[in-house]
Amino acid sequence: MAVEIVMPRLGWTMEEGVLVEWIKRDGDAVSPGEILFTVESDKALNEVEAFEGGILRIPPDSPPPGTAIKVGGLLAYLVQPGEPAPFEIGAQAGAPIAASPAIPEAASIPARIPASDAGIRNAAPISPRARRVARELGVDWQTLRGSGRTGRIVERDVRAAAAPLESPALVRATPLARRVARDLNVDLSQVAPEADGKRIQRADVERAARSQASLPPSIPGTRIPLSGVRRLTAERMAASARTVAPVTLTTEVDATELVYLRKQLRTDAERQARPVPTYTDLLVKLCAQALVEHPALNAQFTDEAIVQADAVHIGIAVDTERGLLVPVLRDVHLKPLRQIADESRELIERARTGVLQADEMQGSTFTITNLGMYDIDAFTPIVNLPECAILGVGRIVPKQVVIDAEAGRLAIRHMMFLSLTFDHRIVDGAPSARFLQRIRQFVEQPYLWLAG
Say what the pLDDT of residue 423 is. 95
Residue 310 falls inside a structural domain? yes
Q: Please give the DSSP secondary-structure letter assigned to residue 182.
A: H
Order the strands of the 35-41 sheet from edge to edge: 44-49, 35-41, 16-22, 68-70
Residues 283 and 418 in one domain: yes
129: amino acid identity, one letter: R
Say what the pLDDT of residue 266 is. 92
- Cβ atoms of residues 349 and 356 within 8 Å: no
How far is CA 68 from its chain centroid? 11
Give the residue from 210, 225, 240 where a domain finishes. Answer: 225
User: CB pairs under 8 A, 24+ apart, for 165-173?
Assistant: 165/109, 165/110, 165/112, 165/137, 165/138, 165/139, 166/137, 170/103, 170/104, 170/109, 170/137, 170/138, 171/200, 172/136, 172/137, 172/198, 172/199, 172/200, 173/100, 173/102, 173/199, 173/200, 173/201, 173/205
Residues 219 and 358 in one domain: no
* Cα separation values, 150 from 114, 126, 191, 238, Å: 22, 11, 37, 54
Residues 179 and 273 in one domain: no
Residues 410 and 373 in one domain: yes
Residue 191 domain boundaries:
175-225
Measured CA to CA, the distance from residue 306 to residue 388 in angstroms comes to 10
Residue 141 falls inside a structural domain? no
Given the residues 294, 333, 414, 424, select the one marked as catalytic.
Answer: 424
Residue 304 falls inside a structural domain? yes
The domain that contains 351 carries what CATH number? 3.30.559.10
* Dihedral sign (CA 420, 424, 425, 431): positive
Residue 421 falls inside a structural domain? yes
Say what the pLDDT of residue 196 is. 58
Residue 337 falls inside a structural domain? yes
Give the residue from 183, 204, 225 where a domain finishes. Answer: 225
Residue 137 falls inside a structural domain? no
Give the residue from 43, 73, 96 where a domain finishes. Answer: 96
56: amino acid identity, one letter: L
Closest to 302 in 3D by CA, of 371, 387, 424 = 387
- Cβ atoms of residues 344 and 329 within 8 Å: yes
Residues 208 and 238 in one domain: no
Measured CA to CA, the distance from residue 19 to residue 416 in angstroms comes to 43
Measured CA to CA, the distance from residue 110 to residue 113 in angstroms comes to 9
Residues 242 and 221 in one domain: no
H/E stretch holding 368 reads strand 366-370
Measured CA to CA, the distance from residue 414 to residue 186 in angstroms comes to 58
The domain that contains 18 carries what CATH number? 2.40.50.100
Residue 126 falls inside a structural domain? no
Q: Which residues contact 48 (CB under 8 A, 6 or more apart)?
A: 8, 35, 36, 37, 38, 39
Q: Which residues contact 242 (CB under 8 A, 6 or more apart)?
A: none
Residue 333 among the catalytic residues:
no
How many domains does the chain divide into?
3
Say what the pLDDT of residue 86 is. 87
Residues 314 and 425 in one domain: yes
* Cα separation values, 33 from 20, 44, 77, 193, Å: 19, 20, 16, 36
Q: What is the pLDDT along the chain (452 residues), one digit of tens a residue?
A: 788 899 888 776 677 888 888 989 999 999 988 889 988 876 677 888 888 889 999 998 888 888 888 888 889 999 998 888 888 875 554 444 444 333 333 333 333 334 333 333 444 677 767 777 777 677 777 778 777 656 778 777 777 776 654 444 456 777 677 777 777 778 777 776 554 557 788 788 878 877 766 655 555 777 777 666 777 778 788 888 888 999 999 999 999 999 999 999 999 988 888 889 999 999 999 999 999 999 999 999 888 899 999 999 999 999 988 888 999 999 999 999 999 999 999 999 999 988 888 889 989 999 999 999 999 999 999 999 999 999 999 999 999 999 888 888 999 999 999 999 999 999 999 999 999 999 999 999 999 998 76
Q: Which residues contact 187 (CB under 8 A, 6 or more apart)?
A: 181
Residues 215 and 238 in one domain: no
Measured CA to CA, the distance from residue 281 to residue 42 in angstroms comes to 25
Residues 241 and 191 in one domain: no
Residue 33 falls inside a structural domain? yes
Residues 328 and 295 in one domain: yes
Query: First-to-last CA distance in the chain?
Result: 62
Q: How many CA atoms lie within 13 A of 249 on its CB side?
A: 20
Angle at 152 between CA 146 and CA 154, to 5 degrees: 70
Residues 302 and 427 in one domain: yes
Query: How many Cβ atoms from other residues are within 10 Å of residue 158's Cβ?
Result: 26
Say what the pLDDT of residue 171 is. 67
Closest to 296 in 3D by CA, of 431, 413, 177 = 431
Residues 325 and 180 in one domain: no
